[in-house]
């Protein structure tokens, strides 16, 4: 009998790699909803072994605990390995070894799946084993299943998402409470939404990893995080958000992927979004992904994107699918990357721009600024003068759609003007023609 075959009514054995917040939530959800889950899985399930670093912290589960990963990987009775350790290594190594041994793997690891997806799928082919990773993006929102299967007949034109709950919570506090970035971050840390070191979230790297996974599936072409232009929210201020509101926009950290004639554009950065866009209303730590597809049209997937219970929900959904496959001899959808599309450099991407400048308040300043922009082919849709104090003022400029490299060249020229005392911020705008 091959390792993929499973018969009989005995429990299908699971090995758990990691027993932190998500691992414990998955076990608790399985126990609380066991009858419901097992009916859907086609039979009984049991967690046989749990890999931990410090067994002394989990005395109630001592009989199932191990510090040796090969007690999971080499156990022929364990058919499903659930990896919830996080990080690149040793998680990547354990995933590869499990797949090569023919064990189904379920993971929440966005770092491994975004950077090593091709290697992971190849290992699955070697072992004729499935890899499930719904929990790696947006917690309990079933976006990976939707892109791989429900929307398989569609051509995805664009995918725009709020995929990081920490930054969305911070920006929501800044929007609704008028806070600046630093106190909003402190509040997010106090409530457990942000880590002690929040750099992966606030600098956009977490969102970039998730976008790489989603774009690879949506467009059928491998995208890795180093191909995603990434910019965080540290420079967004309460004043920028106030001006955005006055202009009819909300500020969000968006993960944006689009296919065009010249390839893919994949980018993560703060964005002004029209207030009537469905994503503009997504607040606090919630996530949402807005998909434009042909022939479906527009659709949005919304829900809790992180935390023990939402992530455990996705993991156990994958456990049910894996158990069904093992009992029926079926296979999950494997790698969906069948094309090789190039990713456009950010300098070639076109969008609208919000530019906030500090200038001297004197005649002719606006003409000098407009000329510097015009020299680079950047035209303006509107100009607002704000906060005049003495001989200083703020200018808020909104551009028509322009190429990134032209805007950056214009900003460099503005820095050289004697009438400009500071480039206060530059934020891109979705929905500008």
Shared-domain flag, residues 119 and 246: no
| 111 and 150 share one domain | no
- Supply the CATH number for residue 265's domain: 3.30.360.10
Is residue 340 in a domain?
Answer: no
Residue 368 within a domain: yes
* Catalytic residue flag (residue 24): no
C-alpha span between 343 and 359 (Å, rounded) = 37
User: CATH no. for residue 131?
Assistant: 3.40.50.720
Alpha-carbon distance 40 to 417, whole Å?
67
State residue 63's pLDDT score: 86
User: Are residues 44 and 9 in contact, defined by beta-carbon separation less than 8 angstroms?
Assistant: yes
Same structural domain, 98 and 223: no
My answer on whether 161 and 203 are in the same domain is yes
Taken in order 40, 213, 333, 126, the sign of the CA dihedral is negative
Do 252 and 381 sit in the same domain of this protein? Answer: no
- Please state, in angstroms and rounded to a whole number, the distance separating the CA atoms of residues 163 and 289: 7
Q: Please indicate, yes or no, if residue 5 is contained in any of the structural domains.
A: no
Same-domain check for residues 150 and 286: yes
What's the Cα-to-Cα distance from 205 to each of 177, 224, 225, rounded to whole Å?
26, 12, 8
- Residue 417 resides in a domain: yes
pLDDT of residue 3: 44
264 and 123 fall within a common domain: no
Q: Same domain for 213 and 282?
A: yes
List the pLDDT tens digit at each of the 433 positions of the chain. Answer: 344 455 557 899 999 999 999 999 999 999 999 999 999 999 999 999 999 998 888 777 778 999 999 999 999 999 999 999 999 999 999 999 999 999 999 999 999 999 999 999 999 999 999 999 999 999 999 999 999 999 999 999 999 999 999 999 999 999 999 999 999 999 999 998 999 999 999 999 999 999 999 999 999 999 999 999 999 999 999 999 999 999 999 999 999 999 999 999 999 999 999 999 999 999 999 999 999 999 999 999 999 988 899 999 999 999 999 999 999 998 888 899 999 999 999 999 999 999 999 999 999 999 999 999 999 999 999 999 987 788 899 999 999 999 999 999 999 999 999 999 999 999 999 986 6
Candidates 210, 309, 386, 405; catalytic one: 210
The structure tokens listed for 12 are 């299908």
**Nearest CA to 83 among 166, 35, 15, 7?**
15
Residue 333 belongs to a domain: no
Overall pTM > 0.85? yes
| CATH code where residue 378 lies | 3.30.70.260
In a domain, 418, yes or no: yes
Please give the distance of CA 111 from its chain centroid, rounded to a whole number.
Answer: 11
75/299 Cα distance (integer angstroms)? 43
Are residues 99 and 158 located together in one domain of the fold?
no
Q: Do 278 and 263 share a structural domain?
A: yes
Residue 223 burial by CB count (10 A; 0-12/13-18/19+): exposed, middle or buried? buried
Domain count, the chain: 3
Say whether both 391 and 416 belong to one domain.
yes
Would you say 252 and 269 are in contact if contact means Cβ atoms under 8 Å apart? no
Q: In this structure, is residue 237 part of a structural domain?
A: yes
Mapping DSSP onto H, E and C, the string for 37-82 reads HHHHHCCCEEEEEEECCCHHHHHHHHHHEECCCHHHHCCCCEEEEE
**23 and 82 assigned to the same domain:** yes
**Domain span holding position 383:** 346-429
CB atoms within 10 A of CB 352: 20
Residue 179: DSSP 8-state: -
- Of 328, 362, 392, the domain-final residue: 328
Domain assignment present for residue 335? The answer is no
């Amino acid at each position: 009998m091959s390792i993929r075959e499973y018969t009989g009514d005995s429990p299908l054995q699971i090995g758990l790699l990691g027993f932190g917040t998500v691992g414990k939530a998955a076990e608790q959800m399985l126990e609380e909803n066991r009858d419901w889950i097992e009916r859907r899985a086609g039979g009984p399930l049991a967690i046989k072994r749990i890999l931990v670093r410090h067994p002394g912290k989990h005395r109630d589960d001592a009989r199932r605990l191990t510090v040796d990963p090969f007690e999971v990987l080499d156990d022929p009775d364990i058919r499903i390995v659930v990896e919830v350790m996080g990080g690149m290594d040793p998680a990547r190594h354990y995933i590869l070894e499990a797949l090569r041994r023919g064990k189904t793997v379920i993971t929440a690891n966005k770092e491994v799946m975004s950077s090593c997806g091709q290697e992971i799928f190849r290992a699955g082919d070697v072992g004729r084993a499935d890899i499930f990773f719904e929990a790696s993006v947006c917690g309990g929102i079933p976006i990976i299943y939707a892109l791989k299967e429900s929307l398989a007949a569609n051509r995805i034109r664009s995918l725009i998402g709020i995929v990081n709950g920490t930054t969305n919570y911070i920006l929501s506090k800044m929007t609704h409470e008028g806070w600046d970035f630093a106190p909003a971050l402190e509040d997010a840390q106090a409530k457990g939404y942000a880590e002690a070191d929040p750099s992966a979230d606030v600098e956009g790297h977490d969102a970039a990893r998730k976008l790489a996974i989603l774009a690879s599936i949506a467009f059928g072409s491998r995208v890795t995080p180093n191909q995603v232009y990434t910019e965080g929210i540290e420079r967004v201020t309460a004043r920028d958000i106030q001006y955005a509101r006055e202009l009819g926009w909300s500020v969000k950290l968006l993960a944006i992927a689009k296919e065009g004639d010249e390839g893919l554009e994949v980018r993560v950065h703060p964005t002004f979004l029209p207030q009537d866009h469905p994503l503009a209303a997504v607040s606090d730590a919630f996530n949402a992904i807005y998909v434009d597809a042909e022939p479906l049209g527009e659709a949005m997937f919304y829900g809790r994107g992180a935390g023990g219970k939402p992530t455990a929900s996705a993991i156990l959904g994958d456990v049910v699918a894996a158990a069904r496959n093992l009992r029926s001899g079926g296979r999950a959808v494997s790698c969906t990357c069948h094309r090789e599309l190039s990713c456009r450099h950010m300098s070639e991407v076109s969008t609208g721009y919000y530019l906030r400048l500090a200038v001297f308040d004197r005649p002719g300043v606006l003409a000098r600024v407009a000329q510097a922009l015009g020299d680079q082919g950047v035209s303006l849709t509107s100009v607002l003068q704000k906060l005049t104090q003495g001989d200083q003022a703020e200018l808020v400029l909104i551009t028509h759609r322009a190429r990134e490299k032209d805007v950056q060249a214009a900003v460099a020229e503005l820095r050289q003007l004697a009438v400009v005392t500071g480039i206060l911020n530059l934020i891109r705008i979705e929905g500008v023609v």
